[in-house]
């Protein structure tokens, strides 16, 4: 089958690889659509590599090329002999993370048992940890990782079930964490700052407004006008950090009170230098963005003095439904299907074939009009 493979940093090309072998507990999925994630770009550039051997040694691309693509959906092509609840033709969203149920463990590890599936003691991830990803024609996954799409949600939007699932998980962790300021507590949150209006920031904005039901001050800082305008459409008060000092703007908007909840969704290291001027003492800070280059860890000294509660959620982790499928992915599908969360507004680039996708990695993502790219290489077949 055809696949896109990284053979060395910043080198991605089409090639033929063996089609996956279907096991009895798996389904063979013809890939329909794949979201292109910031993590994919980091791996492509060589800034990150999560493929390691049993001794923890990172395996270079040159030694073991990688097929990326962890945000994906498609159509069941074939069901393994042990699979009774999915059939060929079913449209499915995929949890790319392998957990104890995926691996048919006799008992659950402490993480799966407590609803933290993406921290599974035996965790592996399609498109991230060296397992073949979805920038290919087919992927074989455990049936419990495939959630049937019951609505008429388009496959390009269904590819964003996973990133929305990450926001659901982040907010679940935040809502469960003991902190000074909470939604609906004795000291209710009245001010939220989201740094960055990429896909994550735009999803957080909608989730706060449309799911949590927060109607207080919600500020989004974003230098890109297109992204900033979308954040405003979704209900945010927006700041252009290239035009005004965010610290001063936040002071004005909060009447000097500063921010009670800060969401870092841009991966910008310089934010840690600004943080003491942005947040109240004992505010909550959600570290969602990755990267944080260009700042010395000493920048945390002044942050530490004001005792924020730091939360660092990762992935679309969650518990399991009765059929051992991921509840987070089902909730994400429901929110997209109902229209509570709108992703169609920020899918700016669609790539009709695998051969078109390298352009997203090498060029398109740097453009001012780019927000989210989706490879739709299987949608001409998978309606």
Residues noted as catalytic: 39, 42
d(CA 10, CA 358): 10
User: What are the angstrom distances between the C-alpha of 358 and each of 36, 64, 176?
Assistant: 11, 19, 40
Q: Which two tokens stand for residue 280?
A: 């109240």
| Continuous segment of H or E residues that includes residue 4 | strand 2-8
- Give the three-class secondary structure for 308: coil
User: What are the angstrom distances between the C-alpha of 203 and each of 50, 90, 290, 318, 342?
Assistant: 25, 27, 16, 18, 8
User: What are the angstrom distances between the C-alpha of 183 and each of 172, 284, 290?
Assistant: 12, 12, 25
Best CA proximity match to 74, nearest among 133, 7, 28 = 28
Q: Do 188 and 323 touch, CB atoms closer than 8 A? A: no
Q: Quick one: CA dihedral 132, 74, 336, 177, positive or negative?
A: negative
d(CA 370, CA 211): 26
d(CA 244, CA 237): 14
Burial (CB count within 10 angstroms: exposed 0-12, middle 13-18, buried 19+), residue 53: exposed
Q: Do 206 and 336 touch, CB atoms closer than 8 A? A: no
């Amino acid at each position: 089958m055809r696949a896109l493979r990284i053979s060395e940093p910043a080198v991605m090309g089409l090639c033929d690889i063996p089609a996956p072998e279907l096991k009895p507990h798996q389904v063979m999925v013809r890939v329909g659509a794949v979201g292109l994630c910031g993590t994919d770009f980091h791996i492509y550039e060589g800034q990150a590599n999560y493929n390691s051997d049993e001794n923890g040694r990172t395996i270079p691309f040159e030694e073991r090329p990688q097929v990326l693509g962890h945000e994906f959906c498609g159509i069941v092509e074939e069901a393994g002999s042990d699979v009774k609840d999915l059939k060929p033709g079913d449209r499915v969203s995929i949890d790319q993370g392998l957990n104890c149920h995926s691996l048919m463990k006799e008992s659950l590890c402490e993480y799966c048992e407590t609803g933290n599936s993406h921290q599974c003691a035996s965790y592996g991830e399609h498109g991230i940890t060296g397992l073949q990803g979805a920038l290919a024609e087919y992927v074989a996954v455990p049936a419990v990782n495939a959630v049937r799409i019951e609505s008429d949600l388009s496959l390009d939007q269904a590819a964003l079930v996973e990133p929305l699932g990450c926001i659901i998980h982040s907010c679940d962790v935040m809502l469960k964490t003991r902190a000074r300021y909470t939604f609906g507590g004795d000291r209710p949150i009245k001010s939220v700052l989201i740094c960055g209006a990429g896909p994550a920031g735009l999803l957080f904005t909608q989730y706060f407004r449309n799911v949590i039901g927060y109607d207080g001050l919600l500020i989004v800082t974003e230098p890109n006008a297109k992204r900033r305008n979308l954040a405003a459409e979704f209900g945010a008060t927006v700041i252009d950090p290239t035009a005004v000092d965010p610290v001063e703007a936040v002071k004005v908007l909060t009447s000097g009170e500063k921010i009670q909840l800060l969401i870092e969704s841009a991966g910008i290291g310089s934010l840690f230098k600004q943080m003491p001027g942005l947040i109240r003492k004992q505010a909550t800070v959600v570290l969602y963005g990755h990267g944080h280059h260009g700042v010395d860890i000493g920048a945390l000294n002044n942050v530490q003095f004001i005792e924020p509660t730091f939360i660092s959620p990762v992935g679309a982790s969650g518990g399991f439904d009765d059929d051992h499928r991921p509840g987070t992915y089902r909730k994400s599908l429901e929110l997209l299907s109902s229209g509570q969360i709108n992703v169609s507004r920020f899918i700016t680039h669609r790539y009709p074939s695998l051969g078109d996708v390298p352009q997203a990695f090498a060029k398109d993502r740097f453009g001012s009009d780019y927000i989210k790219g989706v490879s739709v290489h299987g949608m001409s077949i998978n309606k």
